Structure 1
Amino acid sequence: MTLPEPLAPSLHTLPSGLKVLLAPDPLAQTVAMGYFVQTGARDERRDEMGASHFLEHLMFKGNDAVGGAELNARLDALGGHANAFTSDEATVYHAASLPERAPELLSALSVLLEPALRPEDIETERGVILEEIAMYADQPESRVFDALRAAYWGEHPLGHQVLGTVQTVSALTPEVLRRNFLARYGSLSVTLVATGQLDAQNILEQAALISAEWPHTVHVRRPLPQQVAPALHILPDDSLSRLHVAVCTPGVAVDHPLREAAAVLSEIVGGENGRLYWALLDTGLADSADLSHAEYQETGVFEGGFSCDPERAAQVLGLYRGVLSSLQEQGVTEAEVRRAARKLAVSTLLRSETPQGQLFGLGMEYLALGRVVTVEEAVERVANVTPQDVTALLALRPFDVQVTVALGQTATLATLT
């Protein structure tokens, strides 16, 4: 017996302007859906930092037809995972359920995109978010990376804190939040993605009805240049027993031809069994050490760091910098590239084995690139990274400009630059 194969993803534009990206798989046991909104923390005014994340919270409070308690009961009754997240450039609302519950799933998920934004709900969630900010402020890892982003990005909107600050969140009024919603949640800025066992025609017809009255507006993001100078910022805190260091250097944008090479390079350096592991963790000099690559619309960054005993701070920072410097001076080996590329390709395949995993791959790639990227293409692009690709990336000298922030007992770093 020949089993049906998954169908190629298809992109549709509804009369409302809403885009629908469908990836049916007749053999899947579940269906996953998500609204991917092309807006995030970088799209806020600086004095309204945190508005995107605040709106994410308020979406779960329901609308005039469906109250918050009923909405959450509906989502819970579907038996699947329902959640949301806000990042620098995207906000995503997602859920999964059994295939026969797909119409109910889409109906409940769509309530999130038509929020009431009641003043009483805003005050309740303000308290929740302020508690969230306070919680992260007590975590040294969060503190050092917040300080790193502020130091690296300066006034660039990619330096906005997703949660906002106590000051900005406290000042967000119902009028400001509604203005942000209307400006950035029009149908032309939203993509509905559905994966798994689904009836494509039914989803298209239902989504067309649901979105018919949505504002036909689009949020246009303005890319901005970024100039960075090397710097070391010392944040003394003698109450901390470990020193926490965060490092940021220039990377490449999401549409750069060496994007996959950047992912492979960061795996070679900061992945499990990467160069930082053998230099700092296997030797017992540090508690943790990593490096990853994040790409944005017009730029990207390598971002990482370590934690260690304060007495070893200068030694460990020197070794960390030495690992990055040696890459630019000596390059990488073919075995390193092959191993890292294979690991990333397998990870991509594993994530795509479930409808929910495939949902995020399709949705986030579409938001970033404006086109459909299949699992096969994503796997092929990373699997085919060559040593020459990584060498070309290193020729850009990404590690020449390092912005570093150290938090804790920093006396041994006082003489460093």
Structure 2
Amino acid sequence: MNGAVNLPLDESELSFTASGNSLVRRSILPSGVRILTESVPGSRSATVGYWVAVGSRDELPANYGSTHFLEHLLFKGTATRTALDIAVSFDSVGGEHNAMTAKEYTCYYAKVQDRDVPMAVDVLTDMLTSSLLDPDEFETERGVILEELAMADDDPADVAGERFFEAVLGDHPLGRPIGGSPDTILSATRDAVIAHYRLNYRPQDLVITVAGAIDHDALVRRVTAALEGAGWDLERPGTPVDRRSGSGAEIVRGSALRTVSRPIEQANIMLGVPGIVATDDRRSHLSVLNSILGGGMSSRLFQEVRERRGLAYSVYSFGSSYSDAGLFGLYAGCSPAKSAQVAELMHAEFHRLANGGVSDDEVRRAVGQLSGASALALEDSDTRMSRLGKSEITMGEFVDLDETLRRLARVTPDHVRSLAADLVARPLSIAAVGTVDESAFASIV
């Protein structure tokens, strides 16, 4: 493979060889169901993912939290399997199964030995197509989700992250919490969740990705049989749902500063700005920028805040990119008495990157770090399965390891400085949780 491979929605069959001699294939069934596989030489296991391109951002005010609620409910039983049956199916073969609700998609997945892939396909298909959404289980799971939200609310870093997204992205749907809030979960109705299920879990919405020890043709046959057995009409013509627009949305900052008072030992501080969209050509530049600023123990933030001054144990930078918006942030956990100093140091390092630029040596180290991390991550079939799903749902192209390394190798100090200058010119927001006072950040915001 030489360069990225486009994934047009009107091409029913694709096949190409990626780095490491893995074979990538895609089939689009007449109904619009998309099936992608990456067969990896020497693998003895595979990760299976069932994706639906609907996430928390797609919810209406009347059903906030429905996507996450539904993810829980699909594990609670079908007409032919109880919740225990589903769990036993994977536990009895040493497999793993779980799900994730994100802001722009939901994925149900399992990792099993190669011989157990047919079982994984059958169980995941049954869950996704034939969940009972039982009224009693609905109420039971409401309690489970409330406990999950309470657990997250006990984690000050999680709270800071939620407030940070709200501050940076404002009223954009990406600024909302993925799991909803206790109020929205308490007010959720089974009818609203069922309506959400019927609207978004259809053949044209479904993307199935499998990576590892897999035979594509055998998988397509198994998926087809399982979906038809569940009552889906796969011969009825349909086209895959369009991908989201990659045009950047207009972001109006929610607030410059949000603080949450908590009687805890550390202040959890996040500061940052709107970032770049997932399909931005500068995403490799952002990866290098993030590595230099706060992506490891040799990064500027780690060296300045932790190593030289001893002001924090955890300090780093991060980026999140979505179809039409993004966010770039810096995080530190420190003594409340040091929160003003730490925030000012992070802010200064961010600006120094834009105004002073970076050296060739810093770029070289960052590219080396990212290249190695990319290669190591692909030793895991979970990563490969996820790459297939995001390529199909969000990116519209498949980028293998060789192309990733080529793109990283082309990044220059000028690329990093230019992107940093673009980012620091955007509206800054700060979120802080702990025994902190808003006046500590007055010099920054």
Q: Name the TM-score class by shorter chain.
A: over 0.9
The letter for the 2-side match of 1:214 is W
Structure 2: gaps spanning 5 or more residues: 1-19
Q: CA deviation at 1:321?
A: 0.5
Q: Secondary structure at the match of 1:356?
A: helix
Q: How far apart in 1 are the matches of 2:367 and 2:325?
A: 22
Give secondary structure in 1 for the equivalent of 2:317. strand
User: 1: distance between equivalents of 2:325 and 2:386?
Assistant: 21
| TM-superposed deviation, 1:264 | 1.3
Please give the residue correspondences for 1:180-195 in structure 2 after superposition, counting only pairs within 5 Å.
180-195=196-211
Offset of residue 316 of structure 1: 1.3
Contact 1:46–1:157 (CA under 8 A) maintained in structure 2 = no
CA contact (8 A) 1:263 1:292 kept: no
Secondary structure in structure 2 of the residue aligned to 1:245: strand
* Cα displacement (A) at 1:80: 1.5
Q: C-alpha offsets along residues 145-181 of structure 1, whole Å, 9 cap, x if unaligned? A: 2111222222210012111101111111111001111
Where do 1:389-404 residues align within 5 Å? 389-398=415-424, 400-404=426-430
Partners of 1:42 and 1:88 within 8 A in 2 = yes
**CA distance in structure 1 between the aligned counterparts of 2:213 and 2:255, rounded to whole angstroms:** 52
Equivalent residue letter for 2:95: G
1:141 to 143, 151, 157: 157
Report the Cα distance in structure 2 between the residues aligned to 1:268 and 1:84, rounded to whole angstroms. Answer: 32
* Counterparts of 1:33 and 1:238, CA distance in 2: 41
Deviates more, 1:378-387 or 1:237-246: 378-387
**Equivalent in the alignment of 2:103:** 88
Query: Are positions 1:290 and 2:316 aligned together?
Result: yes
Task: Spell out, residue by residue over 1:240-284, the C-alpha distance to the aligned partner (whole angstroms, 9 max, x if none).
Answer: 222121113121111111011111111111111211001111120
Q: 3-state SS of the aligned residue for 1:161?
A: coil
Alpha-carbon distance between aligned partners in 1 of 2:406 and 2:198, rounded to the nearest angstrom: 39
Q: Secondary structure at the match of 2:397?
A: coil
Residue 378 (structure 1) aligned with residue 404 (structure 2): yes
Q: Is the 8 A contact 2:167 2:256 kept in 1?
A: no
Establish whether residue 176 from structure 1 lines up as the match of residue 192 from structure 2: yes
Aligned to 1:413: 440
8 Å CA contact 2:354, 2:418 repeated in 1: no
Q: Aligned-pair distance for 1:327? A: 0.8
Specify the alignment match of 1:244 in structure 2: 268
Taking the TM superposition and a 5 Å limit, the aligned residue runs for 1:154-173 are 154-173=170-189
SS of 1:8's equivalent?
strand
* Distance change >3 Å, CA 175–CA 18, structure 1 → 2: same
Shift of 1:354: 2.9
Q: 1:280 to 1:342 in 2, by over 3 A?
A: same
Structure-1 separation of matches of 2:364 and 2:377:
20
Give the direction of change, closer, same or farther, for the CA distance of 1:224–1:210 in structure 2 (3 Å limit).
farther
1:399, distance to aligned residue in structure 2 (A): 5.1
CA distance in 2, matches of 1:39, 1:19: 15
Stretches (4+) displaced over 4 A: 215-224
CA drift at 1:366: 2.3
Q: 2:249 aligns with which of 220, 225, 228?
A: 225
Q: CA RMSD in A?
A: 2.2
Offset of residue 301 of structure 1: 1.1
1:336-347 matched pairs, under 5 angstroms = 336-347=362-373
Shift of 1:230: 9.0
Distance across 2 between alignment mates of 1:415 and 1:247? 13
Is 1:270 the equivalent of 2:294? yes
Give the secondary-structure state (helix, strand or coil) at the position aligned to 1:22: strand
Instruction: State the distance in 2 between where 1:178 and 1:300 align.
Output: 30
- Deviation at residue 414 of structure 1 after TM alignment: 6.4
Q: TM-score, normalised by structure 2?
A: 0.87
Task: Please say if residues 204 and 240 of structure 2, whose CA atoms lie closer than 8 Å, have aligned partners that are also in contact.
Answer: yes
Change (3 A) 1:323 1:363: same
Q: Deviations over 1:3-26 (max 9, x none)?
A: xx7442111101231101111124
**Identity score, percent:** 28
Please say if residues 224 and 298 of structure 1, whose CA atoms lie closer than 8 Å, have aligned partners that are also in contact: yes
CA drift at 1:224? 7.2
SS of 1:9 mapped into structure 2: strand
Please name the residue that 1:363 is paired with. 389
Question: Structure 1 residue 197 and structure 2 residue 213: aligned?
Answer: yes
Moved more, 214-223 or 334-343: 214-223
CA offset at residue 227 of structure 1?
2.7
Structure 1 gap ranges (5+): none
Among candidates 55, 59, 62, match of residue 70 of structure 2: 55
- Note the C-alpha offset of 1:358: 1.5
Cα–Cα, structure 1 residues 400 and 160, in superposed 2: closer, same or farther, change >3 Å?
closer
Q: TM (normalized to structure 1)?
A: 0.93
- Alpha-carbon distance, 1:107 to partner: 0.9
For residues 336-375 of structure 1, give each alpha carbon's deviation from its aligned partner in whole angstroms, at most 9, with x where no partner exists.
1121122112111111123233112222232211233333
Q: In 1, distance between residues paired with 2:173 and 2:305?
A: 33
Query: How far 1:400 sits from its partner (Å)?
Result: 4.1
Match of 2:90 in 1: 75
Give the Cα–Cα distance (whole angstroms) in 1 for the partners of residues 32 and 381 of structure 2.
25
Match in the other structure for 2:140: 124
2 CA distance for matches of 1:70 and 1:405?
A: 44
The total of aligned residue pairs comes to: 413
| 2:283 matches 1:259 | yes
- Distance in 2, matches of 1:369 and 1:47, equals 30
